[in-house]
Amino acid sequence: MATQLIVWGHALAALLFGGLTILAWRVREAHVPRRALVAALATTALWALAVAGIGGAEMVTRVSETVRNLAWLGFMLVLHRRGGSVRPPLAIGTVYGVVGTVAVAALVVHIVGSAADPLAAPPIETAGLLLRMLVAVAALVLVQALYSALLPSAGGGLRWIVAGLAGIWCANLVIFTLAYLSGRWETWEFAARGFAMIFVALAIGTGLQRKGEWNVQVSRTVAYQ
């Protein structure tokens, strides 16, 4: 039953994100970072499809998840850099670069753990899981900073998009934390993640359908936090 939930949940998520990819490509709002958003949505659709097809623990799935995370970090960075009169300092780009590097490092650790001796693999996998948790926490901090930087006029569509971003990283953090505390991956955790992504897709779809300026203005206080 749990396996079927994994397949159907992620298959539906893949279908929704695939549809959102097409919808985002057709968006003509002046301030929409369309290419970055399309890339993030498309990689998420491919990741969900991979989980539905071959499972969440396979190497291909882990690689696609890392690419998906990097794409969403890139989209967030573009939003930060599309500010108004006050642009974020170079430190903002550096922070995103560090988070992206940690995400890649987590993948490398997983690859090493997969090739390691069975006795050495568990602690290596635990280290990789901790790195994934760190990425999720850092990304949530960046989402909070991004949300705080939004103009009041961006309250329509863009705030729903940012809420969807928060949902992605929250789901990651909760699932990774549970896996770390239990010491193993449970089937229901993969299933729950798929259904969480369905709600994320609905939030992003709502944002794409609503009218509103896609503009971000980073205040000096937020930019230097």
pLDDT tens for residues 91-150? 788 999 999 999 999 999 999 988 888 788 889 999 999 999 999 999 999 999 888 876
Q: Say which residue, 80 or 203, is predicted with more confidence.
A: 203
| Residue (of 80, 33, 74, 77) closest to 219 by Cα position | 80
Tens-digit pLDDT profile for residues 178-225: 999 988 888 888 999 999 999 999 999 998 887 554 555 544 444 444
Which domain, by its residues, includes 142? 2-223
DSSP state at residue 153 = G
Which CATH number fits the domain that encloses residue 18?
A: 1.20.1070
For residue 61, with 0-12 CB atoms within 10 Å meaning exposed, 13-18 middle and 19 or more buried, which class applies? Answer: buried
pLDDT band at 159 (very low <50, low <70, confident <90, very high): confident
Rounded to two decimals, the pTM is: 0.89
Number of domains in the chain: 1
Q: Are 50 and 61 in contact (CB under 8 A)?
A: yes
